[in-house]
Each structure stands twice: as structure tokens, then as C-alpha cells.
Chain A
Amino acid sequence: MATKQTKKYQQPTATSINVESSVLLSLIRHTSENYPSLFSGALLGFEDDEGSIDVTHAYPFPYPDQYEGGSFRSRSGAKYQQEILESLKKLEYGVEFQGWFQSTVSGNFVTTQLIEGLAQQQLTNKNAFILIHNMASVGKEVELKAFRLSEGFIGAYIDGKWKSKDLEANKLTYLNIFDELPINIHNQHLVNLYLAGLDNEAKGEKEFDVLNLSSNQNVTAQLLESLYSQVDSYNYDQNNFNYYQRQHQKEVSKITQWKQQRKLENLERAKRGDKELDTEEWRGIFKLPSEPSRYNNMLHSNAIDVLADDILKKCDEELTKSFAIERKLTAGDSQ
């Protein structure tokens, strides 16, 4: 907190992420093998001269996370990360810490811990980022995204103020907390040779699971549950805000009343030729409630938005499948 004043937002110089194919695969293996436990870890690599970050190594933290972002600020996580980095440096890999990865289910990754960790990291290293592996489609599809906190968010974070006018000043809404970065998958020459040498292997039934009717059932239920709980937290925060708005309203009407009174009084005094009373005196008499922080509201809104998008996607898939199958079945029999 004390060092905050010296920190300033710096425009990141790396605008895309290059991920080695081995990193992609081992990351996905680790997160999906351990699902439903959530895991995070360190991404190591280097910045190249063409404005992107090359990720060459990924090391998961030893223990699963109880919530997203839990390991980023923990002492054991940081220590593990440091030890890995030192050992790799001995191998003459010019790698540095670049960011984290985190497995999550849909919008649940928007936690204060994750954001706090990422914000602190971005203030020390302007190119820090986070890879989010969305487990909502585990076993069906790979959903991996790279995020960085936006300029507006970091601006507000440095000021530490989250009132509506601060958000407005930083042009920050719940929709632009994060900037998404494009991810490029890079194959080493030898890996490419190997891949080219593989025969086109037949895909198994499991890989087509996305095509099964109702294959999204469990995950949709889980997403809806997450949505409920986010909406609950949102409402809790909103209640506080509504309370503030009502209090504010009350005070404002009191002030207007007082002003009205003072105005009449002054008119009276003017008629009598007396000196007018100060019309700004109300500032000392009434105390307006101050607006509560919009921080939690913003995070919950963002999580709800991501969750809603994922649920809509699952439902769209389900409807497509359902209609296609129904038409096939019923048409086949009527012939």
C-alpha cells in the first residue's frame, strides 16, 4: 500500500502470447486430469522483439486452489515459482516469469484474489498476463484465453477509489475489466516434423461428445448454480448500494427543504432590510452519505456476464443438436 503512490500505469509492450505446443498440451493435461480440482501455475518464457511473449515452460503449483487466484499471493506458491525459475536458469534457458495460468469454470475466475494478484504483478511487470482455462467444456472443447487487466482498471486500482465517478473518470465498466490477448500456438520445427509424420488417426467417440444430445446437461446445471450464487452476491452488494441511494435521497430532500426555508427567510429579511443569511450554511448541518465502493458490484457483474454467455452457448448447441436429431428421427419414420 505504501508503495502505491509511486506506481503508474505503463502501456504493455507485448500484445500477443506465443505458447509452445508442449506448454499447451501439458497445461491442458494437468488442468483436465485434476478437474474438478482447480489448479494454477507459473508460465515461464521470454519477451521477444516483435511485441509478443513466448511461453516456453509451464509449472503447476503443487497444491490445488480452493478458489481462483488463491496461489498467486501465497508464500508457498511464490517460493515454488522462484525455485523453478532458478533451476531453469541454471540450464541456460533465458526464461523469466511471465504470467500465470488458472483453471476455472466459466466466469468464476473473477475473484478479488486473482484480480489483486494480477494487478500487483502488472504494476511490477507491465506485460504480465493470465491464461484462463475454462473447464466448462472439459472433454469437449478447448477454451483457453489470455487476459490482462485494462488500463482503466489499473488506473482505478492505483487510485484505490471505486466510486461511480472514479469509474467514469477511468472509463471503466464491468465489461472492460480485462483486455483479451490473442494466443498463438507455436510448434518447434521438430514437433512439426513429428506431427506431419503422424497418420490421420481416426477420432474416437469420446472426442465427439459435444455432439451427443444432452451431453451439456451436467455442466449447464453447474453453470446455472454458479450463476445463482453470483447473482446472490451481486444482490447482497446491490442492497447496500440501494440503502445508500435511499439515505442519499432522504438527505437531499432535507437539504432542498432547508434551502427553501432559508430562501423564504431571506426574502422576509430583505423586506425588513436585514442582512441576508448564508445560503451555503447547509453544508455544515447536513452530512451526505458517501457512495459505497462499486468494486464488488463490478466483479460480480463481469462474472455473471461471462457465465451467461457460456450458458447461452451451451443452450444454443443443445438446441441445434436437438432440432437436427428430432427432424431426422421424425422424418425417417414418416417416409
Chain B
Amino acid sequence: MPEQRSYMHLVRPNVAAPGAPAANGPSTVKIQAPALFQILEIVSKQVLYTDKRIIGTLLGSRSDDLSEFEIKHAFMVPCNETGDSVTIEDHTHKTLYQLYKKAHPKDAVLGWFGSSSTIDNTTGLIHDFYSKGSDRAYPYPAIYLNVDYLKDNRISEPKLSTYIGAAVGKPVSGVQLGWKANINNYIFTPIPNEVISSSVTEKIALNNLREKSVNTASFVLDSAEDASFLSAQLEAVTSNIDKLLAEISNVDNSDANLDLLRLLSNNLLNKPQLLTNLPELERLFSAHNQDVTLIEYLTKVIKEQIELSARLTATAEAEKKY
């Protein structure tokens, strides 16, 4: 996790986003890990030297009071910069959004992502596109996620920053033709973001990715038939305990350490009554183990039975004379 940064929240004008409450704007953006990976994969298509801008749409959900955004999916939208104007392929955006919407009816367009090192005029133009019109973030404020990974044309660790853009000044009225410079000006206010995993299985997969893909670009996903996953987890716990023991062996009298020790001793002392009744405990365990063994036994019988039946049938049919 990136270190927790502090942000100052200001009351902003929300001219272009009438649906947003004026008092408290969004305070956090949660990026689901799959969506982040999609974004990283899309922006890494950016050609290094021509520096063509790659942008895309962010999809996800907002909390009821609009204080939280959750990014769940992202797709690329082609765009072309020519001088001070930019063309975004509205049609692609619309079709892909509608298709996603079919499978995820609760999600909506949250904003967009890009990968540039600075916020410039074009950023405002694209933001304007996402802040207005149907099938976009309107009437809610759009958010902008930037992945900065190019430093002097060299690839470095990607840095994520999220902004909310609010229009300032008098909005331009009337029909607009294309997204040309100076239609609306935007203030981009940084808001904190965090990367989350929405389900435990996904978290396990992410941990797996992190542990296995150090130094290699790919690895084999092994789905174990046996209990090797269990033993890997046990080893993880053992190493955690070792760490804790090492920690305890050189504690000082600081408050944090005292709290830790207190927590540990409280947990160890809180023992259910049953654990002191040894014969009863042994009886329960043996009953449990026997239950499990019986299930194993019967399951094995079924498995063998099926195989036997298949073999007998094959032999019987092969030996038939007529």
C-alpha cells in the first residue's frame, strides 16, 4: 500500500455537476485490483516515443452520498489529438459501455483514465467530454485517474493519482461542435485512492501473483489436487509466529509494544471452559475425526465402485458373441 497521504478538502463550485452535493465532494476512490490491472495493460500500449495519448473510460459505482467511488472495470477509447482540439470516439465509448451495462446493470460511468505527466489543456477537454451528455458521468462529477509511469521516456514504477474536476467560470451555453479548447475550465483537485480486492478469493489470487511473479513475467498456475495449498498456508502462519516471537524477544516499554503484549495475553487467557476438560475434548476430537474418516471411506468406496462398474461393463460387452 502506498503511504497514507493527507489531503485538504475544499468546498468547490460544482457548476457542471448539478447532481453533486456542494458541501462534501467525494473523499476516496477505491480501485479494484482487476480494474487497475486492466488500466495498466491498456496504458502500457502507449508508444514510448510518439507519446500518443491513451485514454479510456472508468466504470463502477458511487456510494449514495457520493463520498466513495469504486472503480470496477475500464476499457480503452480511441482518441486523437490535433493541435488544441481532441476527438474522442464517442461511438466506441457508447457501445462498450452499453455492453458492460448489460452484465452489470448497477454500474455507471465514473470518469476516465489517462497516462500523462502533466495536467494540460487537453486534460480539461477530455474531462469536459466525460462530464457532459448521456452515457457519461453527468449529472455527477467525473473523476480522472492518472497513471504516471514515464520518467524522461523511461518506464518506472506506475504512480496512481486521482482527481475530481469541477468546472469554474461561466459555462459555455449553446450547441457545441467537437471538443475545442477553452469551452470550460476545470479545477482538478486530488482525492485519495486505494487499491482494494472485493472478494477473498481474488485477494488470494493477487497474493499469489505477487509472490510468484517476482523477477518473472509469467508463471504456471497450479491448481493443487492435494493438500499442498494447505501446507503452504501453514508455513505462512509459522513464519508469522516466528516473526512475532522475534518481535517479542526485543521489546521495549513503548506504548505500542505494551498494547501488543496486552492484546496477546488477553487472547491467550480467554479460553473457553471446554478446553480445560481434557477427556471431553479428546472425546469430541475423536468423534469428529471418525466422522471425517467415515466420509472419506464411503467416498472412496463410491469412486472405486464407479471404476469397477466401468471396467466390468467394458469387459462384458467385449466378450459378447452376438
Contacts and interface: CB of A to CB of B under 8 A. Distances in A.
Contact of A174 (B236, B310, B320): B310
B314 interface: yes
A305 B303 contact: yes
A201 interface: yes
B237 A211 contact: yes
Contacts, number: 267
A313 to B, nearest CB: 7
Contacts of B200: 32, 138-140, 206-207, 209
Given A20-B41, A91-B92, A312 B227 contact: no
A280 to B, nearest CB: 12
A197 interface: yes
B316 A245 contact: yes
Contacts of B252: none
A190 B1 contact: no
Contacts of A140: 200-201, 204
Nearest to A325: B285
B218 A90 contact: no
A168 B318 contact: yes
Nearest to A199: B1
B295 A224 contact: yes
A143 B202 contact: no
A108 to B, nearest CB: 16
Nearest to A319: B292
Contact of B322 (A29, A141, A197, A288): A288
B32 A185 contact: no
Given A26-B73, A187-B217, A192-B217, A83 B99 contact: yes
B40 A194 contact: yes
A210 interface: yes
A313 B227 contact: yes
B262 interface: no
A238 B308 CA distance: 13
Contact of B205 (A18, A28, A80, A220): A28
A21 interface: yes
Interface in B239-272: none
A138 B199 CA distance: 9
B98 to A, nearest CB: 9
Nearest to B35: A26
A90 B157 CA distance: 30
A41 to B, nearest CB: 8
A50 to B, nearest CB: 12
Interface string A162-206: 011101100001100000001111111111111111110101101
A329 B278 CA distance: 9
B285 A194 contact: no
A190 B103 contact: no
B199 A185 contact: no
Interface string B184-216: 000000000000011111111111111011100
Nearest to B91: A90
A207 B237 CA distance: 11
A192 B40 CA distance: 10
Interface string B296-322: 100110110011011001101110111
B293 interface: yes
Contacts of B296: 311-312, 315-316, 319
A270 to B, nearest CB: 25
B292 A252 contact: no
B76 interface: yes
Given A22-B34, A316-B226, A189 B44 contact: yes
B199 A334 contact: no
A130 interface: no
A54 B164 CA distance: 36
A193 B230 contact: no
Contacts of A29: 32, 34, 197-199, 202
Interface string B30-51: 0011111110110110000000
A246 interface: no
B198 A330 contact: no
B149 A193 contact: yes
Contact of A313 (B199, B214, B226): B226
A194 B103 contact: no
B220 interface: yes
Contacts of A208: 233, 236-237
B82 interface: no
A211 B198 contact: no
21 contacts: A24-B221, A25-B202, A25-B209, A92-B78, A138-B200, A139-B199, A145-B223, A164-B313, A168-B317, A174-B306, A189-B155, A193-B156, A193-B157, A196-B157, A206-B203, A305-B303, A309-B303, A312-B299, A318-B292, A319-B292, A333-B275
Q: Which 5 A-B pairs have the closest CB atoms?
A: A22-B37, A164-B317, A26-B34, A25-B34, A308-B303
